Amino acid sequence: MTRVAGCELCELSVAPVFENDKFAVILVDDANYPGFARVIWKDHVREVSDLADDDRLLLNDAVWRLELAVREVMQPLKVNVASLGNVVPHLHWHVIPRYADDAHFPAPVWAQAVRETEAQVLQARKTLLPELKAAITRRFASR
């Protein structure tokens, strides 16, 4: 397995909610986006097209399972699924629950904020995180 020194995803410092020998699923600590999660490929590759067919299908299945868990628990208006890697060129997918009242909606979460989500709304969403972790664990255990 290839690792690159200094790559924050090769040197993952967050405890995964789920992991196996190929990928890890983490929750991102983002105050504005409770339920923001990532699937991180463990081998340091840049693109999905760098993967063997079986690994590509495995990664796609992982993103799908994570999206299902996020939708089930967080009940978002929309789910954004993105693989950018412009800042960290290590294969990973973002799975982000979106709401009409979130700070950036309808723009991407990386755009300029247009509002501030009410603190009690964010807190209510944060209280769902243990349930989200359980849903992720359950969805990946059924593989």
In the chain, where the domains are located: 18-141
Q: What is the homologous superfamily of the domain 18-141 according to CATH? A: HIT-like (3.30.428.10)
| pLDDT for the residue 105 | 96
| pLDDT for the residue 37 | 98
Please give the chain's pLDDT, 143 residues, in tens. Answer: 888 889 899 998 899 999 999 999 999 999 999 999 999 999 999 999 999 999 999 999 999 999 999 999 999 999 999 999 888 999 999 999 999 999 999 999 999 999 999 999 999 999 999 999 999 999 999 76
CA distances from 8 to 12, 13, 63, 76, 112 (A): 6, 8, 20, 28, 24
- Cα(26)–Cα(62) distance, rounded to whole angstroms? 12
pTM of the predicted model over 0.85: yes
| pLDDT for the residue 24 | 97
